Chains A and B, each alone.
Chain A
Amino acid sequence: MIKNISIRRLKTGVPGLDNLLGGGLPEYSFNLLAGPPGSGKTTLAHQIMFACAGPTNRVLFFTVLGEPALKMLRYQQQFAYFDVAKVNQSIRFVNLTAESMKGDLDQVLNRIADEVKAYAPSMVFVDSFRSVVKADSHVDQWGAEQQKFVQRLGTLMASWMATTVLVGEYTETESQSSPIFAAADGILWLSQSMQRNSMVRKMQVVKMRGQAQAPGLHTFRISDRGIQVFPRAIVKPGLAVDFEATIGSGAARIPMGVPGLDAMLGGGLPAGYSLLVVGPSGSGKTILATEFLAEGARLGEHGVVAAFEKSPSQLLGNIKLYSMVQAGQVGVIDTRSLDLSIDETLHDLVDMINRMHAKRVVIDSLSGFELALAPEFSEDFRGSLYRMVAELTGMGVTILMTSELEDRYTDLRFSPFGSAFLADAIVVQRYVEIEGQFKRVISVVKVRGSAHSKDIRLFDITDDGIVIGEALSGYTGLLTGRPTRGPP
């Protein structure tokens, strides 16, 4: 049987991008990298170029009008991927400004053809392609000449077996009328949006012929290392934990590290569950989370903590946690930025979970997490959190999330985000007034698919951690904050 042609996919060298593209850039494909000014097009093109260039993979980079080449080279060298040793070895820059200025597209094409013949590159970049075709026209419209130019360029590159990336500034409306969008095998669209002083960069693979790209918008960040893409988490079929199967098969339960709490949970927290610990400020949520990690460390299970409310120094002021971090038993995610996306946080978590082979994850707290996100992600916090929890539990880790809950004695809520539904188990902590004293109480509200204690029990925070006391069985109206003794 004759085997169909198999297209090689070139690794782009941009973290996260190959996942979006469906494995990489298809060899010999004709691609458009489009977006508004400042969206990171040239940076992305350079990063891909330097990653791909090598002795057997030569690259031609045509610069045209737009950003002066001198400036481009100056600024691009600020990124770690810029390898000077590759310039004039496996990368050749060619300036097409003179030909473009003359406005003769045939001349531009002939120059490109000459350079391609002379250098025999595996990859060709044209930045900015928009400048090439615009120079030919006094009006900003595509004429027959430009269409012919695109057609001939595509054919030329295919016949010389060069994977091509055209870089261009386009608006979304142009993407529906410009013939380059129809001719291109692949289109990568970059954008940036501002909301309440927060800037978020996004990338979309509009099309990538012959392979399944990741749909939707994906956030990316530009740092001194270049571009890093954070593919949007998508809940895959079968990824969410099958609760009945988990419990029914007698899956392992993991101890919480707080004496008495495991019994309240029905024998510990089922592995791979997400537990939401809610309570007012100072009720002991972070201490409970620390005990959870410490118990894991004691059993040889590594943990990861994403702390959104405290700086690293504040966080590590927690001696118990500090010791675990120092011993390499717990990893800490830096989460102090205020323009994060859920996917970026998830990427960092997954990366550290894999590196540490972690089994336990703490997110402290959801309230701080929401604050750390760029405003546009806060609007869909619940949906994003659902995707994140599904992805993490799908990896088999057990998650403990804390959530601040204002002590209101007239209404009973478990989360200010309505996110209680996505937790498999909920533990609530509250303050109640008993005999003129503020006392802390703890109760297990739910453990999906499992029996659990219905008690409301007193607890104290001591030097040895959380000590759970007796059940307050002789009281009524505990959750109103002002219980009374006696039967209901």
Chain B
Amino acid sequence: MDALGISRHRSIENLTSQNPENSASSDVGLWPSLATQIIAIVGVGGFDSLYARSVFLTQSQFTWLAADCEIPSDDSRFVSLTASLDSAAPELARAANSLLLMTFTDIFASLVGEPLTARILDSAWGTGGYHFAEKDKDEDT
């Protein structure tokens, strides 16, 4: 994994742990904005395929994680994930969600490249003060 990928992982860790007083499932809020951006580009089918594989891979570490992605409605896409995280201990739930996000973005980046992934993550989460694209990183340093 290159520097952008490592930085992406670090940013996801920070994003999922920035409000430790909140319940872990509140971090599920990162998913809808990410889904909006990805679906706009690759379509619902493209997003759901990537999400299903990410859940499958994450379940090898967090076997209790249930995140049914067969629900077609945008509003209810992450209901199953929220319920699953709510049922776990906060620390575990946060780690599982973080890994799920990392796995999802890893797969996406391996298909379309880190720079394009970073731009899309900026569009999804940029308002949170996190910058993924290289140019913005340079400006930060």
A residues lining the B interface (CB < 8 Å): 63, 68-71, 73-74, 77, 84-85, 87-89, 92-95, 97-98
> Do A69 and B113 have beta carbons less than 8 Å apart?
no
What chain B residues lie within 8 Å of A94 (beta carbons)?
A: 40-41
Contacting pair A98 B112 (CB below 8 A)? no
Residues of B within 8 A of A70 (CB): 42, 46, 111-112
The reply to whether B135 and A85 form a contact with Cβ atoms under 8 Å apart is yes
The answer to whether residues A88 and B123 also contact, given A68-B46, A69-B41 and a CB cut-off of 8 A, is yes
Chain A residues whose C-beta falls within 8 Å of the C-beta of B112 in the assembled complex: 70, 73-74, 77
* Given A73-B116, A88-B122, 5 more pairs with CB closer than 8 A: A69-B41, A70-B46, A77-B113, A94-B41, A98-B45
Minimum CB–CB distance for A41 against chain B, Å: 19
Residues of B within 8 A of A (CB): 37, 39-46, 111-113, 115-116, 119-120, 122-123, 133, 135
Docked complex Cα distance between A481 and B41 (Å) = 74
The reply to whether A84 and B116 contact each other, CB–CB distance below 8 Å, is yes
Find chain A residues with CB under 8 A from B133 CB: 85
Instruction: A93 to B40: give the CA distance in the assembly, Å.
Output: 7
Q: Chain B residue with minimal CB distance to A78?
A: B113
User: In the complex, what residues of A have CB within 8 A of residue B43's CB?
Assistant: 63, 69, 95, 97-98
Which of A68, A73, A88, A93 is the most central at the interface, judged by chain B CB atoms within 10 Å of its CB? A88
Q: Cα distance A97–B44 when bound, in Å?
A: 8
B41 touches A74 (CB 8 A): no
Q: How far is A77 from B111 in the complex, measured between Cα atoms in Å?
A: 10
28 of the cross-chain contacts (CB-CB < 8 Å) are A68-B42, A69-B42, A69-B43, A71-B111, A73-B112, A73-B116, A74-B111, A77-B113, A77-B116, A84-B113, A84-B115, A84-B116, A85-B135, A87-B116, A87-B119, A87-B120, A88-B119, A89-B119, A93-B40, A93-B41, A94-B41, A95-B39, A95-B40, A95-B41, A95-B43, A95-B46, A97-B43, A98-B44
Residue on B nearest A95 in the bound complex, by CB: B43
In Å, the complex CA distance between A94 and B42 comes to 8
> Smallest CB-CB separation from B110: which chain A residue?
A74
Closest chain-A Cβ to B123's Cβ sits at a distance in Å of 5
- Is the Cβ of B42 less than 8 Å from the Cβ of A95? yes
Tell me the nearest residue of chain A to B124, going by C-beta: A88
The reply to whether A69 and B44 form a contact with Cβ atoms under 8 Å apart is: no
Q: Which of B42, B44, B115 has most A Cβ within 10 Å?
A: B42
Residues of B contacting A97 in the complex (Cβ-Cβ under 8 angstroms): 43-45
Tell me the nearest residue of chain B to A85, going by C-beta.
B135
For B113, the chain A residues whose CB sits under 8 A away are 74, 77, 84
B107's nearest neighbour on chain A, judged by CB, is A70
Residue contact B46 to A88, C-beta cutoff 8 Å? no
A89 to B116 CA separation, bound complex (whole angstroms): 12
CB neighbours (8 Å) of A92 from chain B are 40
B35 to chain A, nearest CB (A): 12
- Identify the 9 closest CB pairs spanning chains A and B, nearest first: A95-B43, A97-B43, A84-B115, A69-B42, A93-B41, A73-B112, A88-B123, A70-B42, A84-B116
Chain B residues with Cβ below 8 Å from A69 are 41-43, 46
Contacts of A71 in B (CB 8 A): 111
Q: How far is the CB of B55 from chain A (nearest CB, A)?
A: 18
> CA separation between A279 and B31, bound complex, in Å?
76
State how many angstroms separate the Cβ of B45 from the closest Cβ of chain A.
6
Nearest A-chain residue to B108, judged by Cβ: A70
Q: How far is the CB of B50 from chain A (nearest CB, A)?
A: 8
Q: Which residue of B lies closest to A83 (CB)?
A: B115
Closest approach, in angstroms, between the C-beta of A99 and any C-beta of chain B?
Answer: 10
